[in-house]
Structure 1
């Protein structure tokens, strides 16, 4: 404390002789990382005569020097190094509590005169950004509904900027895609299939930039364009398979109805041996468990008689020709007997 008083007296006496020089630090503000070091560097215009550094609005003493060993305040023991040639101050290691304004006062010898000087420097200490994550809300995006992607930063209280990327390129905002004031959230209103892709958020503070892992956006949609493949008719006794399909993400669940009655589950409806009772309407309902949407398609199916077709037609013609030939022979015999 005695050294502090001596320096204050010297500065006050010299202030009556020469105007106090406003000395700018080499760097202002000084950026530091928790656990690292910061250098508050100044360059006085002459040999140093005395020096004092203070911290905060209350001007709490940090270190002072008046020609002998520097006197370090108890709160800064083993963390402060004062350069007695330039008056520069090094703090190591620093914590978040070291952020603030440091003021300095001192004297130098200029042309055989004592020149007082003073100034200040701001220190900002930051923590490393640990993890950056992109979180969707809702977790399962649905086509034509609203979606928010939030850039969450862990390990640092200070984030100076955020940058959004889609497929490695900066994301462009539009009337439908908007960014929050601090770029922490991207809003899609609504989200479309064209928004599918890989999204990243880069968070930055004055000491580091960290990118999130890629978030793959897959918009759930459908079902759409449902269809049934299979024959429109089949002969009695034959086997038949109907297959239902629809465009959807995730894949659909399928339910079959025969003539309005619940029949089977699954994308296929198989009949091992059809009968006349199998003729009718087959309805497939496709349902998406995520979107909550469904669509249906109907197929009419007819069962024909066994053996019917072009072959049986030929057989009937042959029988008719035989019958006509028989009748012609009988008519000829009757004529001869007459």
Structure 2
């Protein structure tokens, strides 16, 4: 008995009962030494069962799990209930075709006739496709990814950035590899994760899940001039290593004066040599970190000249009074 699907042919099974035809023993021998294993097809495919070697059977049946698929006799063919439109049969070649396979089509198919006395059978396994989705549980120190699979699965493995993951002191697998646990999260764990589920007829890779490792703020830094002249407006920039990016607040003399990474002072006066504080806040990690900036204000050249002239006037006035 041959099974055909697509362009390939798999020889399967043999007559289980020999018959005497024209005083000769008529038996087939199994052409496939691995005949004890069922033929495997996917859901939605078509399959054709054919007889090899071909013999003439005037009346017989194709059966599946005690249900008659086809019954034929000279001049007529009858299709069993529930198989109308799914089964086609050639009475000359004895080929039986079954269309749009479903998982419940898995089982043993039997060709049987009384005259001549023939019985042959073949096993068919229809494997369904599977789907999967991601779920995950995240903390700041660990992460758990789960691969939810629907359908028959032989194995599951995980990849990060296209490279297969193996268990180590940080990475472990459970639930038949469907759950990936990562402990002691580090920046190197940031990346694209996928689970791959396979069965004997197909494999499927999940959509990419990007694991973002949140951290910081670290290394808060203020940049800007350390010395400015009276009348200047100074721009200070604050930055930090942080994921997600931090929010920034500026403080002067303990009072919040601005928000944002960039702060521009008001016009400076001579008595404004002071300290500015930038605080970075990560709203995911909840961490605050600060840096300070000391700005020294000096008189501008024009103001220095005016002050010098005023000083000289005062000195001359004092000398005149003394004389």
TM-score interval, normalised by the smaller of the two chains: 0.5 to 0.7
Please list, as runs of the form range in 1=range in 2, the aligned pairs for 1:188-207 lying within 5 A after superposition.
188-207=182-201
Paired residue for 1:36? 45
* Correspondences of 1:1-338 after superposition (within 5 Å): 28-40=37-49, 43=52, 51-56=60-65, 59-64=66-71, 69-82=76-89, 89-106=96-113, 117-127=119-129, 135=134, 137-138=136-137, 144-152=140-148, 157-275=151-269, 278-304=272-298
Distance verdict in 2 for CA 1:160–1:78, change over 3 Å: same
Q: Does structure 2 retain, via aligned residues, the 8 Å contact 1:276–1:304? A: yes
- Count of residues paired in the alignment: 288
Structure 1: 5+ residue stretches without partners: 1-10, 15-20, 320-338
* C-alpha distance in 2 between matches for 1:136 and 1:181: 14
* Matched position secondary structure for 1:97: helix
Provide TM-score, normalisation by structure 2.
0.68
Pair 1:189–1:104, CA change in 2 (3 A): farther
When normalised by structure 1's length, the TM-score is 0.65
Worse-matched range after superposition: 27-36 or 243-252: 27-36
Query: What is the CA-CA distance between 1:305 and the residue it aligns to?
Result: 5.5
The CA distance in 2 between the partners of 1:278 and 1:41, in whole Å, is: 98
Residue 79 of structure 1 deviates from its aligned partner by 2.9
- SS of 1:75's equivalent in the other structure is coil
Cα distance, 1:295 vs structure 2:
0.9
**Using a 3 Å threshold, how does the CA distance of structure 1 residues 287 and 262 change in structure 2: closer, same or farther?**
same
Give the alignment's Cα RMSD to 1 decimal: 4.3
Structure 1 CA distance for aligned equivalents of residues 29 and 49 of structure 2: 13
What do the CA deviations read for 1:15-39 (whole angstroms, capped 9, x no partner)?
A: xxxxxx9986966423333443123
The Cα of 1:257 is off from its aligned counterpart by 1.4
